[in-house]
Chain A
Amino acid sequence: GAVVSQHPSWVICKSGTSVKIECRSLDFQATTMFWYRQFPKQSLMLMATSNEGSKATYEQGVEKDKFLINHASLTLSTLTVTSAHPEDSSFYICSLWSRAPPRSWGYTFGSGTRLTVV
């Protein structure tokens, strides 16, 4: 099946610093990438959707200047949490979607990144 590599798997940063999370497709070209956030014992909340070469579309309530998404290629998307604060501590998960064969109409998830801001 499709493989998505997300890293780092966990990161601890100081309040006020920025953190970059990478999501890489290893064996297919991802038309669209999604970023989710998950707080403990809660469901996955969609933060934004990005298509290769275009600006990301953010869900209501998600600050686009704080959560910078770059989808520069069909195999790589990055999420940068800028000026992180303790309330940004969460589990961030990427998901890739491709309409093109061999992976048509399918979502593949990364393994997630545990961000702790101290």
Chain B
Amino acid sequence: GESVGLHLPTLSVQEGDNSIINCAYSNSASDYFIWYKQESGKGPQFIIDIRSNMDKRQGQRVTVLLNKTVKHLSLQIAATQPGDSAVYFCAENIEGAQKLVFGQGTRLTINP
């Protein structure tokens, strides 16, 4: 749903470990979801997307899971690397609307 200006939660993992970043969305009419990575001072970078007719989608080292029953989205990053350190946002698109609404975001830190 709409972010209301909350400060970012953080997640720290050891390099090489897997990480899971979670996102709750509020609008049951949302039918398209995207995960973005944002590095400091830069715009969001597309990671992976999923439509509401799917519950899982895999990319290179990343997997997105969608649970429409509880309106929950997760991003799994396998074998994390230092370059994965960034802020990760989920975004939802409501069916029939053009705009993309961003979730709260999570700061991921990879420890060497």
Contacts and interface: CB of A to CB of B under 8 A. Distances in A.
A93 B43 contact: yes
A62 to B, nearest CB: 13
Interface residues of B, number: 24
A97 interface: yes
A: contact size bracket: 20 to 34
Interface in B94-108: 98-105
Interface of B: 2-3, 5-8, 32, 34, 36, 41-46, 89, 98-105
Given A34-B99, A44-B89, A49-B99, A112 B41 contact: yes
Which secondary structure dominates chain A's binding surface?
strand
Interface in A17-63: 32, 34, 36, 39, 41-46, 49
Contacts of A112: 41-43
A114 interface: yes
A61 to B, nearest CB: 11
Contact of A43 (B3, B41, B99): B3
A32 B97 CA distance: 11
A111 B99 CA distance: 18
Contact of A46 (B8, B36, B99): B99
A34 B36 CA distance: 16
A42 B44 contact: no
Contacts of A78: none
B102 A44 contact: yes
